[in-house]
A = this chain, B = another copy of it.
Amino acid sequence: MEGRKKAFDQLTQRGIEGLVCIGGDGSYMGAHLLNNEHGIACVGIPGTIDNDLYGTDYTIGYDTAINTAIEAIDRIRDTADSHNRVFIIEVMGRDSGFIALDSGIAGGAEGIMIPEDISDTDKLFQHFSNDERRTKSFSIIIVAEGDEEGGAFTHANRLKEKFPDIKLRVTILGHIQRGGNPSARDRILASSLGYHSVRALINGETNAALGIVDNKPFMIPLHEASTRKSSIDGELIKMADVLSR
């Protein structure tokens, strides 16, 4: 609260009447309170690599992150292939499986472990119960760091216990998923959200979270956006299951 008072003072000193706030739930909540307490017009736009913000199809940074992830997966596949190994790769996503699901589909993974799918371990065990799959070829398994059963090492231990003959390796992609040159799609999204957020402020909108839904600008109250979660399309999980067979 003291921080917001300070922010308000700085803004008024500089003659700034409206604020575009880029971030996640925390930033949205801060902007919402700044508006309530001090009357500064605030529009929030979604900036997080996790893609789990409510009120938008995509968040700024997400496309770059999954491109980095699949580049890493492609590299690991080269080793997996030539050494006949199973690689368990942990990607970011503390509360959601967006990165894991999309990079798993794009990377041609044989298994994708996400918090939204409680039957993914069963599917994986079934996959490896086929002897040939287990011993004669390589596999890529993607795990969201926030999977309800644990990260990549936990899954590796289970798999090892169940199928002791699998040659397993674990890779945690970690912070390379942040940073890097932004992808085309992220730049276009950021340009578009920047443009529409300024227009919204000019039109007198405030306390609004601006996203892109079905390729069109979409606004909901900041408070709503900061308290609800985006959920993964169940149809997409079904598709991933079919493709990984």
Could you tell me the distance between the alpha carbons of A66 and B191 in the complex, rounded to whole angstroms? 15
Point out the residue from B175, B180, B191 that lies within 8 Å of A105, measured CB to CB.
Answer: B191
Could you tell me the distance between the alpha carbons of A84 and B57 in the complex, rounded to whole angstroms? 30
Point out the residue from B172, B174, B175, B185 that lies within 8 Å of A63, measured CB to CB.
Answer: B185
Residue of chain B at shortest CB distance from A216: B214
A143 to chain B, nearest CB (A): 14
Chain A 171-188: CB-based contact to B (< 8 A → 1; otherwise 0): 111111111110111011
Residue of chain B at shortest CB distance from A101: B188
Contacting B at CB under 8 A, from A117-172, are 169, 171-172
Point out the residue from B74, B106, B178, B183 that lies within 8 Å of A180, measured CB to CB.
Answer: B74
Could you tell me the distance between the alpha carbons of A106 and B183 in the complex, rounded to whole angstroms? 9
A-side binding surface: helix, strand, loop or mixed?
Answer: helix
Residue of chain B at shortest CB distance from A181: B74
Could you tell me the distance between the alpha carbons of A103 and B183 in the complex, rounded to whole angstroms? 11
Contact between B180 and A78, CB atoms less than 8 A apart: yes
- Whether A16 is near chain B, meaning CB under 8 Å from some CB there, is no
Number of this chain's copies in the complex = 4
Contact between B75 and A188, CB atoms less than 8 A apart: no
Contact between A191 and B239, CB atoms less than 8 A apart: yes
Of the candidates A107, A176, A177, A178, the one having the most CB atoms from chain B within 10 angstroms of its own CB is: A176
| B residues in contact with A68, CB < 8 Å | 75
- Whether A76 is near chain B, meaning CB under 8 Å from some CB there, is yes
Total chain A interface residues with beta-carbon distance under 8 A: 46
Could you tell me the distance between the alpha carbons of A1 and B44 in the complex, rounded to whole angstroms? 57
Contacting B at CB under 8 A, from A184-218, are 184-185, 187-188, 191-192, 195, 214-215
Contact between B106 and A75, CB atoms less than 8 A apart: no
Of the candidates A69, A169, A175, A192, the one having the most CB atoms from chain B within 10 angstroms of its own CB is: A175
Could you tell me the distance between the alpha carbons of A107 and B243 in the complex, rounded to whole angstroms? 34
| B residues in contact with A173, CB < 8 Å | 176
19 A-B pairs (CB sep. < 8 Å)? A57-B215, A63-B185, A66-B184, A69-B184, A72-B176, A74-B180, A74-B181, A75-B175, A75-B180, A78-B178, A102-B184, A103-B184, A105-B187, A106-B187, A106-B191, A169-B175, A173-B176, A176-B176, A192-B239
**A-B interface, 7 closest residue pairs, ranked by CB to CB distance from nearest:** A78-B179, A214-B214, A75-B179, A106-B187, A66-B184, A75-B180, A171-B174
